[in-house]
Chain A
Amino acid sequence: MTVKAWLDTAIQDAERRGLPALKPLLEALARSTAALRTADWNADATGEPDAAHVQHGH
């Protein structure tokens, strides 16, 4: 699941649960998650050391 798909799903779920205040926090968390996924320590199944995880949609 890409970060964007995750964020869209999370916001929809939060609104369904009556927690609209979560939206800005989830958006901030999404930025943090994107940074985490692009960090250079992540392993990739292709064996490529610098795989761009967000672009590949992991």
Chain B
Amino acid sequence: MGTEPRTIAEVARALDERTTTAEAITERCLERIAERDSSINAFITVLAAQAREQARDADRERAAGQSRGPLHGVPVSLKDIIDVGGTPTTAASRVRNDHVAARDATVVQRLRDAGAVIVGKTNLHEFAFGTTNEDSAFGPVRHPLDPSRSPGGSSGGSAASVLADMAYASIGTDTGGSIRIPAAACGLVGLKPALHEVPLDGIVPLSETMDHVGPICRTVADAAIVYRALCGEREPRIAPREASGIRLGVLRGYFTALLDAQVAHAFDQACARLSDAGVVLEDVTLAHAGDIAAVYLHIVLAEAAAYHAMTLDNRPDDYTTNVRIRLEMGRYILAQDYVRAMRGRELLRGEVDAAISGRDGLLLPALAVPATKLGASTVRVGGSEEPVRNITLRLTQLFNITGHPAISVPCGKTIEGLPIGAQLVGPARQTSALLAVATAVEAQLGPGVSR
């Protein structure tokens, strides 16, 4: 991008100072989509004409002194699981072949109210049920830094669109880590707000009690801007914090027992930098961490199978093979085991609350491995072969179970240049407080690969 603005905050400043226009900024994003997306495959639908019109409207309103805030005139993309009125919501599936959304999802309406320019709808793992984007009716998304790798998922097209400078932010969904995983794999910031904080109407569900919607951006400040818009408020209201004096629990045991060596090293270095800056770090463990995967699996499979039951019967061949089989697995879960998982969920929620109590939050790696190779079903970690799906969900799914707000921020790179992410978890229902802490942490850990 050269001297072009790289963040939403920089775009907003440039638009305020009239050194550029929303139309010019939008046109550059559309040009990059045209130049690079045939190889990355981040987008399912590009809304070029509408985006140009929205950008011109933004320029007219700004010229008339009618600024809607920092998102006014800023190009954003949307995971193609979110309804935009008059546009297909494919969910990356042939099951949705004839779908056209009747109206905007509430989050889309709120982005429009904030003046955002919607450049298009991004590719994903079919129905958001996977972490690599390989199972998509539109083909896999390729990592902008290494086309042989996945950008992570399921919001992989969203992360790729931001990393490849095709949009300044993207709205993703996160049921087990689908915002934080691709953000970590791409060196970006991914925010999963607190459960039920941002409305989910007009968004195709995966697991109705664990689904979240939130932004993928380049900086925590940008994530805060988009978060406030998604909540229906335009201006970020984050009380600035210094790193010194912040108190974090570092999740150990299960959470650091199975990490790629370079991820472990980068996380240790991040802890050392934070400690040097005056952040108080205290190791903590969760008594039932070993039960996280079983609890998650029995909730997500049962809820996903309920939503898909009719189309699994009527249109089974319209699903990709892997997603169909996983959905079918959920149809065999007994009600008594779903209830057991929901009991475990309450226990885990209490344990996370207790671990945060007296602290500002928790710190752990976001993703146990760097971006995985496309086509790989397993990845070698610590001397064993681990299923890609299990290892990628391992550190994020807990906070979908408990609903605590969580954010992935860049914390280093492998020797191959692949991004590594750290994850911060905030107190229950306190996303703004989490963003304040994340801003201070980000300042110590340095920029991600995309800045």
Classify chain A: how many residues form its interface, as a range.
20 to 34
* B100 CB, nearest partner CB in chain A, Å: 32
Which residues in chain A, 11-52, are within 8 Å of chain B measured between CB atoms? 13-14, 19, 21-22, 25-26, 29, 32-33, 35-37, 39, 41-43
Which residues in chain B, 187-218, are within 8 Å of chain A measured between CB atoms? none
Q: Is A58 an interface residue (CB 8 A)?
A: yes
* A9 CB, nearest partner CB in chain B, Å: 9
A53's closest neighbor in chain B, by CB? B340
* A13 CB, nearest partner CB in chain B, Å: 8
* B43 CB, nearest partner CB in chain A, Å: 31
Residues of A within 8 A of B237 (CB): none
Q: Is B102 an interface residue (CB 8 A)?
A: no
- The answer for the CA separation of A14 and B47 in the assembled complex, in Å, is 42
Please tell me if the beta carbons of B298 and A33 are within 8 angstroms of each other in the complex. yes
Q: Is B294 an interface residue (CB 8 A)?
A: yes
Q: Which of these binds chain A: B132-140, B327-335, B368-376? A: B327-335
Known: A25-B326, A25-B329, A29-B329. A39 touches B297 (CB 8 A): no
B326's closest neighbor in chain A, by CB? A25
- The answer for the CA separation of A39 and B297 in the assembled complex, in Å, is 15
Pick from A6, A10, A19, A36: contact of B294, CB below 8 A: A36
Which residues in chain B, 325-348, are within 8 Å of chain A measured between CB atoms? 325-326, 328-329, 332-334, 336-337, 340-341, 343-344, 347
Please tell me if the beta carbons of B344 and A39 are within 8 angstroms of each other in the complex. yes
Residues of B within 8 A of A1 (CB): 334
Pick from B288, B297, B321, B343: contact of A32, CB below 8 A: B297
Pick from B294, B301, B333, B336: contact of A35, CB below 8 A: B294
Please tell me if the beta carbons of B328 and A14 are within 8 angstroms of each other in the complex. yes
Residues of B within 8 A of A25 (CB): 325-326, 329
- The answer for the CA separation of A43 and B336 in the assembled complex, in Å, is 12
Please tell me if the beta carbons of A42 and B337 are within 8 angstroms of each other in the complex. no
Please tell me if the beta carbons of A58 and B336 are within 8 angstroms of each other in the complex. yes
What 0/1 readout, one digit per residue, does chain B (291-335) give for beta carbons within 8 Å of chain A? 101110110010000000000000000000100011011001110
Known: A21-B325, A29-B297, A41-B288. A36 touches B332 (CB 8 A): no
Please tell me if the beta carbons of A37 and B340 are within 8 angstroms of each other in the complex. yes
Please tell me if the beta carbons of B344 and A26 are within 8 angstroms of each other in the complex. no
Please tell me if the beta carbons of A6 and B295 are within 8 angstroms of each other in the complex. no
Residues of A within 8 A of B301 (CB): 29
Please tell me if the beta carbons of B328 and A36 are within 8 angstroms of each other in the complex. no
Known: A39-B344, A41-B288. A6 touches B334 (CB 8 A): yes
Residues of B within 8 A of A21 (CB): 321, 325
Please tell me if the beta carbons of B341 and A36 are within 8 angstroms of each other in the complex. yes
* A35 CB, nearest partner CB in chain B, Å: 5
B336's closest neighbor in chain A, by CB? A58
* A58 CB, nearest partner CB in chain B, Å: 7
Please tell me if the beta carbons of A35 and B291 are within 8 angstroms of each other in the complex. yes
B332's closest neighbor in chain A, by CB? A10
- The answer for the CA separation of A42 and B343 in the assembled complex, in Å, is 8
Please tell me if the beta carbons of A36 and B340 are within 8 angstroms of each other in the complex. yes
Residues of B within 8 A of A33 (CB): 294, 298, 333, 337
- The answer for the CA separation of A36 and B295 in the assembled complex, in Å, is 7
- The answer for the CA separation of A37 and B329 in the assembled complex, in Å, is 18
Please tell me if the beta carbons of B344 and A19 are within 8 angstroms of each other in the complex. no
- The answer for the CA separation of A14 and B333 in the assembled complex, in Å, is 13
A30's closest neighbor in chain B, by CB? B332
Pick from B325, B328, B337, B347: contact of A41, CB below 8 A: B347
Which residues in chain B, 30-57, are within 8 Å of chain A measured between CB atoms? none
Residues of A within 8 A of B293 (CB): 32
Please tell me if the beta carbons of B288 and A39 are within 8 angstroms of each other in the complex. yes
A17's closest neighbor in chain B, by CB? B328
Known: A22-B329, A26-B329, A32-B293. A37 touches B344 (CB 8 A): no
Please tell me if the beta carbons of A22 and B325 are within 8 angstroms of each other in the complex. yes
Residues of A within 8 A of B288 (CB): 39, 41
Residues of B within 8 A of A13 (CB): 332
Residues of B within 8 A of A22 (CB): 325, 328-329
- The answer for the CA separation of A35 and B288 in the assembled complex, in Å, is 12
Pick from A10, A19, A35: contact of B325, CB below 8 A: A19
- The answer for the CA separation of A33 and B330 in the assembled complex, in Å, is 12
Can you give 9 A-B contacts (C-beta < 8 A)?
A10-B332, A19-B325, A19-B328, A26-B329, A29-B297, A29-B301, A29-B329, A36-B291, A37-B340
The 5 A-B residue pairs with the shortest CB-CB distance, nearest first, are A36-B294, A10-B332, A32-B294, A35-B294, A25-B329
Given A29-B329, A29-B333, output 16 extra A-B contacts at Cβ < 8 Å. A6-B332, A19-B325, A22-B325, A25-B325, A26-B329, A32-B294, A32-B297, A33-B298, A33-B333, A36-B291, A36-B298, A36-B340, A39-B291, A39-B344, A41-B288, A41-B343
